[in-house]
Amino acid sequence: MKKHLFIFLLLVLGSQVKAQVRFNSLEQCTDYALKNRPDLQNEELAEKKAQNAVKQVSAVLLPQVKATSALDDYLGLPVQLVPAEFLGGQPGEFRSIQFGTQYNLSYGLEAALPLVNVQAWKNRKIAESDVKAVHYQKLNAYQRAQEEISRVYYATLLSRQVTQIARENAFINDSLLFIADQKFKSGLLETLDYNRLKALQLESRQLWQDNRTAYEKNLNLLKNLCGLPPEASLELSETLQANQLEKVTLASPVEQQNGYQVLQWRIRAAEQEWQKQKLRWLPEVSAYGRYTRQAQRREFNFLDSDYPWFQIGLIGLRADWPLFTGFNRSVATRQAGLNHQMVQNELKNYQLRTQYELAEININYQNTIQSLQSYQQHYNLYGENYKLAVFKYKADVYSVDQLLQVYAEKLKSQNQFIQAMANYYINRSLIQLKNQSAQPENTIKP
């Protein structure tokens, strides 16, 4: 019994340990997401699907060989009327003659090879361009996921730090309320001031709870973005420091962005489609050959070697030249041209939008460096002021009004500092991700 209980506990504890995930950095977090998120795994599958599509359209250009076989049983043989005089009869009379045999068996091989098939070659070119477009679409999806994860990752770390600060404030206000309670019972504190300190303690406790809730929500959102189940235990070991600023430079041309490359290859595919429709008037030429063995029997005795088998073989060329397609060709050509123009406009719009986006990120980052340094000093000063105010209040030097005023100033400074630190880390990570995705090899080759 003890042995079975030990095995059960081992399995339970083992499953719990397996469900625990620890990230030491943003890079580990994003790497885990890229490997485990189902939607990002679909991006990889989409690329493989596009690669298989190239093989599929290329198969049309290869020789096509097939084996054929047919067994016919004529329940009623065809009858033909012929003049009777051909068979020694009287002129003007006819005799009915049956042609053929009841059983016919044939088997053979057929082969075809396209010699001129412009449409198939263009389809291959289009499929190859689609592979490139899907590849950069995958990288673009990875980049968007990393940017979203970076925002939530740093929001989670900062909400955890805010929760710790709120916890410290709640403990300090608990001690203030304890002193105020003693003063109130001794008649040294008025009811108005006592109620204000009690309300401050309730507010700080609720603020602590609100921050804990915000941290849990951010953590759950981060688990979702990483592809973790809700019951998984996620631990972030990194701690953000405001005094360890790393300056980065945005070196991310629009032309090297993954989204830009997607549209570039879509334009190339649209050009190939346009050319394909324009060349639909060209003929398709193919070579073919067929070899067949055939036997005809009045009785079902195909295995009898005394009866002959007949052989048929042929080779030839076939040309299909579309002369009139009901104006389908001209309409399809115009449609392909319009699609080409639309994709070009999408590229121009993307280029303009991304230029503004990169400029905004750069402006925000430059501003966050200065604002973070300023608000850090600002917050340190108000932190010291609040400690002094608490000390003076305990020594009966500061009034409740003065204490609450300093606390409100500290709380405002704290929020400004946390917001500045969040903006710094988020914008810095966005710049790093933009630089990482904008590699020289991303430039499309002619």
Q: Is residue 163 part of a domain?
A: yes
Collapsing DSSP to helix, strand or coil, 227 comes out as coil
The number of residues in the chain equals 446
Shared domain for 176 and 191, answered yes or no, is: yes
Q: Is residue 278 part of a domain?
A: yes
Shared domain for 90 and 202, answered yes or no, is: no
Shared domain for 145 and 196, answered yes or no, is: yes
Taking the C-alpha atoms of residue 266 and residue 347, their distance in angstroms, rounded to an integer, is 9
Q: Is residue 12 part of a domain?
A: no
At residue 345, the pLDDT reads 97
Shared domain for 404 and 271, answered yes or no, is: yes
Q: Is residue 123 part of a domain?
A: yes
Q: How far apart are the first and last CA of the chain?
A: 73
Strands (E) in 277-360, as ranges, are 284-297, 310-320
Collapsing DSSP to helix, strand or coil, 290 comes out as strand
Q: What domain range includes position 220?
A: 21-62+117-283+328-442
Q: Is residue 7 part of a domain?
A: no
- Helical H segments across 20-103, by residue range: 26-36, 38-58
At residue 19, the pLDDT reads 61
Q: Is residue 387 part of a domain?
A: yes
Shared domain for 94 and 189, answered yes or no, is: no
Shared domain for 201 and 299, answered yes or no, is: no
Q: Is residue 5 part of a domain?
A: no
Shared domain for 107 and 121, answered yes or no, is: no
The one-letter amino acid at 265:
W
Domain count, the chain: 2
Shared domain for 390 and 248, answered yes or no, is: yes
Shared domain for 159 and 205, answered yes or no, is: yes
Q: Is residue 130 part of a domain?
A: yes
Taking the C-alpha atoms of residue 439 and residue 432, their distance in angstroms, rounded to an integer, is 12
The CA distances from residue 194 to 123, 126, 349, 405, in Å, are 82, 78, 62, 15
At residue 439, the pLDDT reads 61
pTM (two decimals): 0.81
At residue 17, the pLDDT reads 46
Taking the C-alpha atoms of residue 441 and residue 446, their distance in angstroms, rounded to an integer, is 13
At residue 349, the pLDDT reads 97
At residue 403, the pLDDT reads 83
The tens-digit pLDDT sequence of the chain (446 residues) is 444 544 444 444 444 445 689 999 999 999 999 999 999 999 999 999 999 999 999 999 999 999 999 998 888 777 777 777 766 777 777 777 777 788 899 999 999 999 999 999 999 999 999 999 999 999 999 999 999 999 999 999 999 999 998 898 888 888 888 888 888 888 888 888 888 888 888 988 999 999 999 999 999 999 999 999 999 999 999 888 877 777 888 887 888 899 999 999 999 999 999 999 999 999 999 999 999 999 988 888 888 888 899 999 999 999 999 888 888 889 999 999 999 999 999 999 999 999 999 999 999 999 988 898 899 898 899 889 988 988 888 888 888 888 889 888 888 888 898 889 889 999 999 998 888 877 655 544 43
Shared domain for 269 and 145, answered yes or no, is: yes
Shared domain for 153 and 141, answered yes or no, is: yes
- Confirm if 231 and 19 have CB atoms less than 8 A apart: yes
| Domain containing residue 231: CATH number | 1.20.1600.10
Domain boundary among 298, 320, 342: 320
Shared domain for 191 and 291, answered yes or no, is: no
